[in-house]
Amino acid sequence: MPKPTSDIPILEDRKAQVHTKGAAPFKLACEKHSVAGAVSQRACVFCGSRVVLYPIADALHLIHGPVGCAAYTWDIRGAASSGPQLHRMSFSTDLREKDVIYGGENKCEAALVELIGRYQPKAAFVYATCIVGLIGDDLDAVCRRAGERTGVDVIPVHSEGFAGSKKDGYSAACRAIDALVGTSPEPKPGLGAPPSINILGDFNIAGETWVIRDYYERMGIDVIATITGDGRVDDIRRAHHAQLNVVQCSGSMKGLARLMKEKYDIPFTHVSYFGLEDMSRALYEVADHFNDPDMKARTAALVRDEIGAVMPELRKYRDALAGKRAAVYTGGAFKAFSLVRSLRTLGVKTVIAGSQTGSPQDYQKLEALCDEGAVLLDDTNPLELAKFIDQTGADLLIGGVKERPIAYKLGVAFCDHNHERKECLAGYAGMVNFAREVHHSVCSPVWRLTPRGCRTAAPDASPPVRPLRRAAVRRPAPRPALRTTPLTIGAKEVAV
Amino acid sequence: MTLLRHTPAEETARREALTVNPAKTCQPIGAMYAALGIHRCLPHSHGSQGCCAYHRSTLSRHYKEPAMAGTSSFTEGSSVFGGQSNLLAAIENIFTLYDPDVIAVHTTCLSETIGDDIPQIAEAAADKGLIPEGKRVIHCNTPSYVGAHTTGFSNMTKAMVDYFAEAKADEKAAGRVNLIPGWVEPADIAELKRLVALMGLDCITFPDTSGVLDAPLTGAHEMYPGGGTTVDELTAAGDSAHTIALGPICSGAAAKALQAKCNVPQTTLPLPIGLHATDRFVMKLREFNGGHVPAEIAAERGRLLDLITDMHQYFYGKTAALWGDPDQLVSLSELLMSVDMLPKYVVTGTPGKKFIKRMGEVLGDRAHDCRVEQGSCADMFMMHQWIKADPAKVDLLIGNTYGKYIARDEDIPFVRHGFPILDRIGHQHMPTVGYRGAIRLLEQILNAFLDRQDRDAPEASFELTM
């Protein structure tokens, strides 16, 4: 029987954003603005736009605002590029007090002209930050002027931090990309062109786009543009030549796919590349779309070979992990689905699942996917997360940078499935990497040193050691009674 | 494809409108870090949600610790009508759920430009009964388009004085000093407190992030780890005999405010990084303990000197490029000069009038061999250009993690120091202040040189003993 969640303090306004499966009929409030004062793990509109556009490697990314917004997003995402590295520089107009008073337009334009002159990028994105929205700089006009002066497309990104949530930042990024789509001078390939797709919503963290691209190419599909992982401006310009948009990641690229459906009548399909099931489903779905028997056969062979290659190692990890419990807290909810399934493949049960930006449909699906008793959380905070981890006895937390130290402080294993992941986690090989990371953290002996580890693992982990018997035992003289203080960890005495 | 070779060697015309690869960040993160040095305090970012998320992430990456802070979560509506209702709701929610002793509000570019009046909002919160008995809401103004992260730290530190310090007693407490350590690591603060204790003095240290951002693992998520200066201590700071402020940029304003408000005399010293700066610190403390320096401190100094003389031939004539915060850079430069190294290139993004003058004093007659820049365009790009254009380059880089691009591109040994350090550990645990801290720093510098020598030595001159 699922435990009620009432003994965990939750802000009155947030109570509807927490649900325990089986405790009541499913209902979870979401897509709400964060409660002021909650230590939310969410970020802002600018953050949403910045992470989405960031991997376009041959574009210039200028952040129009005070220096912080540029400083905190300097090379922040391990989005790999096979060529230019311009996206890893940090460019800021560094607005100062006098700019706030007199306006920052001239500064922005001068910066653009200088940077475009120096780097000759294929295009430039200019991000509006909070302050730009407030002081009323006409960013569109600045971009137009800079574009005219340099001959390079300069695209404003309306990502004022306060103007919505991270999701709105995704939309702003989609509109910016949309400004480039369809601007290629190349003629559209005629009938009889090979099947072609765009990969949307994969950001090439640790080279994941490359893995996915390789699968599609082996299926006989032409990948026109990868948006935005290892992205290139010219590819985006001709992205409207593709016959299908394959969209990963629930929030970030849906908007672009919709825009391209409206404008160019390109259909789109939602996929995920995490876990064996979802990865295979993605490839099959794309093959089904093109409805070519040869391609279907190639796809089936690819899936068979890849799964066959990784299963022996996965089985090894599953044996070690079976029965463990996981908490999953992601940015978008779509990733959470895949994680729940992947964890199930490894014999791990998801006891907490949540996201920063999930939609009602997302959570409905997530609830259906989870086991009885699982706690669902929308826009949670460290306090709730820590308490639910304690209550559910989770052995593992999957999340991002702000969640990592929370897990470790609790003595719980952690896997980064966010910007800071160092291993490719997508595709079949990615599933093995994921399993390895989860295994290495969950089964690490370090948790035996922590109080939680002591609590759960001590009884059977170390069988009582029988002392060697000696012929005659000389008793030591009784010690004088001292007021002793034990060696403690937390409130617990350390057993040596 | 080479990594990040986007810095041309030829110097561009003086940039006016552009910062590339900044050697600073914005004020609010400094205010957040300082506020975490108050016991049971929840910093609060009055602005958009992203600011708070970025600051917490950066602090978490640097310390490998949870960094707790609330945000007013501004919306389009707040940007039009002001953030008062957000802050009121935040104050109520925070005290209800997180129960801190203090909420330390800092502003952002957004709330500053809107013109939110934080004291007035806090007063409204008090009138509505949203602030429980004995709890406090303090604030400082940290518009992101003024100063830098260092000035944000300074502003919040000064706010601690403005809100809490009181001159209550008839006489100042003899044998008790206030220590304002500036923006240093928790381990540094612990080391400074140890030195003051060894000198036999009582001490109120603020802000004090030791025990907060280097909290031990206890198996529990602690919203407020044990460390930090208590409100009572901050109040009592007004009755201390003297204030020692370390680093004029980060600590000077608070010390002066305390002098003006509570008549506590103050001395602002450079950060005690290196032999001479630590000497000055110890000698200043000696004025308040009856002129005594314990043998333990003298021995620590002796060990530092011993290391310097043992290894001095590896230091002399070496050049370094430094970037970071003014208070650190002045003292680091002095340390390097004291072992016959030259801080050839120095940049800081923090504006401020006295930095160049202070650097000039430290560099003395070698000043003409060095380039020192500060302000908006004094960034890592400029630093990289200088090094690229210099055939002799430099022998060593000292600064935060963002130097790793230059280190890789130019193949120069690199010692990490400052904020943020995102890719190494040690800074949380090992102090670089005091005599022992100087030993640690020189050890890191020496090891960098010796590793390089081992790497590059031809086999015939590859030496076992160095």
Out of A388-392, B8-12, B242-246, B444-448, least confident range: B8-12
User: For chain B, what percentages of helix, strand and coil (3-state, to nearest 5) are there?
Assistant: 45, 15, 40
Residue range A446-472: mean pLDDT, rounded: 57
Write down the pLDDT at residue A7.
Answer: 64
Nearest to A67 among B25, B44, B60 (CB): B25
Give how far A351 is from chain B: nearest CA, Å.
Answer: 19
Q: Does A484 fall in a domain?
A: no
What's the half-sphere exposure (Cβ side, CA atoms, 13 Å) at A257? Answer: 23
Concatenated DSSP letters of A17-71: GEEEBTTBS-----SPPPPTTS------HHHHHHHHHTTBTTEEEEEESSHHHHH
Strand, helix or coil for residue B372: strand
Q: Say if the Cβ atoms of A39 and B402 lie within 8 Å.
A: no
Distance set, CA A9 to CA A14, A385, A386 (Å): 10, 11, 11
- The tens digit of pLDDT for each residue in B374-423 reads 988 899 999 999 999 999 999 999 999 999 999 999 999 999 999 999 99
Q: Are residues A60 and A131 in the same domain?
A: yes
Is residue B59 pLDDT above 50, yes or no? yes
pLDDT confidence of residue B76: 86
Q: According to the model, what pLDDT value does residue A16 have?
A: 87
Percentage of the residues of chain B whose pLDDT score is greater than 70? 98
Q: Are residues A208 and A257 in the same domain?
A: yes
Mean pLDDT of B60-73: 94
**A124 lies in a domain?**
yes
Q: Which of A16, A235, A40, A53 is nearest to A127 (CA)?
A: A53
**Same domain for A116 and A65:** yes
A354 and A380 Cβ atoms separated by less than 8 Å: yes
CATH number at residue A322: 3.40.50.1980
C-alpha to C-alpha distance for B110 and A176, rounded to whole angstroms: 24
pLDDT tens, residue by residue, B451-461: 999 999 999 99
A273 and A156 part of one domain: no
Mark whether A280 and A364 lie in a shared domain: no
Classify the C-alpha dihedral A228-A232-A237-A239 as positive or negative. negative
Q: Which of residues A121, A148, A179 is at a domain's end?
A: A179
Total domains present in chain A: 3
Q: Which two tokens stand for residue A201?
A: 């919503």
Helices (H), B218-319: 231-236, 248-262, 275-286, 295-315
As a residue count, chain A comes to 496
The residues that bridge with A205 in the sheet, in sequence order, are: A79
**How many residues belong to chain B?**
466
Which segment of A183-192, A210-219, A467-476 scores lowest on mean pLDDT?
Answer: A467-476
Q: What is the mean pLDDT of chain B?
A: 95
Is residue B274 a contact partner of residue B334, using CB atoms and an 8 Å limit? yes
Instruction: Please check whether residue A327 is in contact with residue A403, taking contact to mean a CB–CB distance below 8 angstroms.
Output: no
pLDDT for position A477: 62
In angstroms, the separation between the Cα of residue B165 and the nearest Cα of chain A is: 27
Best of B221, B401, B423 to mutate (most A CBs within 10 Å, chain A): B221
Question: End of a domain among A307, A323, A341?
Answer: A307
A88: closest chain B residue by CA: B4
Angle at B101 between CA B98 and CA B107, to 5 degrees: 80
Q: Which domain holds residue A97?
A: 45-179
Q: Which of A4-18, B192-206, B376-390 has the lowest mean pLDDT?
A: A4-18
Regarding whether A101 and A56 lie in a shared domain, the answer is: yes
The 10s digit of each residue's pLDDT in A290-335 is: 999 999 999 999 999 999 999 999 999 999 999 999 999 988 888 8
Going from N- to C-terminal start, the domains of chain B cover 27-164, 173-294, 296-460
Please give the CATH architecture assigned to the domain spanning B27-164.
3-Layer(aba) Sandwich (3.40)
- Residue A1's pLDDT is 39
**Residues A35, B76: C-beta atoms closer than 8 Å:** no
A6 or B110: which leads in pLDDT: B110
Element (H or E) spanning B228, and its range? none
Average pLDDT over residues B421-429: 95
Spatial distance between the Cα atoms of B322 and B374, rounded to a whole number of angstroms? 12
Mutate to test the interface with A, among B41, B45, B51 (most CBs of A within 10 A): B51
Residues near A161 by beta carbon (within 8 Å), at least 6 away in sequence = A44, A45, A46, A47, A69, A129, A130, B47, B48, B49, B50, B51, B74, B110
Quickly name the fold that domain B173-294 has. Answer: Rossmann fold (3.40.50)
ipTM of the complex: 0.94
Read off the CATH number of the domain in which A240 is found.
3.40.50.12380
- Confidence at residue A460, expressed as pLDDT on a 0 to 100 scale: 44
Residue A495 lies in a domain: no
Classify residue A190: in a domain, yes or no.
no
Predicted local confidence at residue A100, as pLDDT: 94
User: Are B18 and A111 in contact, with CB atoms under 8 Å apart?
Assistant: yes
Which residue, chain included where needed, has tokens 């050049």?
B319
- Looking at residue A9, its pLDDT comes to 76
CA distance A443 to A413: 8
User: CA nearest A41 in B: which residue?
Assistant: B53
Residues in A closer than 8 angstroms to B324, CB to CB, are: none
Distance CA A330, CA A317 (A): 23
Is A347 domain-assigned? Answer: yes
Q: Do domains B27-164 and B296-460 have the same CATH topology?
A: yes
> Same domain, yes or no, for A290 and A338?
no
Query: Residue B134: pLDDT above 50?
Result: yes
Cα–Cα distances (Å) from B161 to B120, B165, B181, B387, in that order, read: 19, 5, 14, 42
Q: Do B57 and A72 touch (CB under 8 A)?
A: yes
For residue A480, the model assigns a pLDDT of 60
Task: For residues A218-222, give the mean pLDDT.
Answer: 97
pLDDT value, residue A496 = 67
pLDDT (average), residues B252-257: 98
CA distance A45 to A129: 9
Q: CATH number of the domain at B296-460, please?
A: 3.40.50.1980
CA distance B17 to B375: 12
B130 vs B95: CA distance, rounded Å: 8
Number of Cβ within a 10 Å radius of residue B26: 32
Write out the two tokens for B290.
């009856």
Q: Give the mean model confidence (pLDDT) for residues B23-39.
A: 97
| Of A75, A43, A44, A50, residue with least CA distance to A157 | A50
Helix or strand run (H / E) with residue B175: strand B173-180
Are A35 and B70 within 8 A, CB to CB? no
A357 lies in a domain? Answer: yes
Tell me what pLDDT residue B186 has. Answer: 98
Q: Choosing among A61, A67, A120, A170, which should be mutated to test the B contact, i.e. which has the most B CBs within 10 A?
A: A67
Q: What is the pLDDT of residues A419-455, one digit of tens each?
A: 778 889 999 999 999 999 999 999 999 998 887 765 4
Q: Are A11 and A35 in contact (CB under 8 A)?
A: yes
Between A54-58, A85-89, A398-402, B165-169, the lowest mean confidence (pLDDT) is in A398-402
Instruction: Specify the pTM.
Output: 0.93
Q: How many CB pairs under 8 A join A and B?
A: 269
What's the confidence (pLDDT) of residue A349?
Answer: 96
- State the pLDDT confidence band at A39, using cuts at 50, 70 and 90: confident
Contacts A108 to B, Cβ<8 Å: 17
Distance CA B397, CA B345 (A): 9
A108 and A123 both lie in a single domain: yes
Does residue A200 sit in the same domain as residue A263?
yes
Would you call A100 and B113 a contact, using CB atoms and an 8 Å cutoff?
A: yes
In the structure, what pLDDT confidence band is assigned to residue A4 with cuts at 50, 70 and 90? very low
Instruction: Kindly identify which residue of chain B lies nearest to residue A488, measuring between CA atoms.
Output: B218
Place of tokens 């419990």: A325
pLDDT in tens, A357-376: 888 998 999 999 999 999 99
**Confidence class of residue A138 from pLDDT cuts 50, 70 and 90?**
very high
Nearest-by-CA chain A residue for B377: A94
Integer Rg of chain B from CA: 23
CA distance B207 to chain A (A): 22
Stretch among A159-168, A271-280, B11-20, B213-222 having the lowest mean pLDDT = B11-20
Rounded to an integer, the average pLDDT of B144-151 is 96
Where does a domain end: A307, A325, A349? A307
Determine the pLDDT at residue B203.
97
| Residues B321-337, mean pLDDT to the nearest whole number | 98
What number of other Cβ atoms are within 10 A of residue A137's Cβ?
A: 24
Tell me whether residues B19 and A92 touch, CB distance under 8 A.
yes
How far is B6 from chain A, CA to nearest CA, in Å?
7
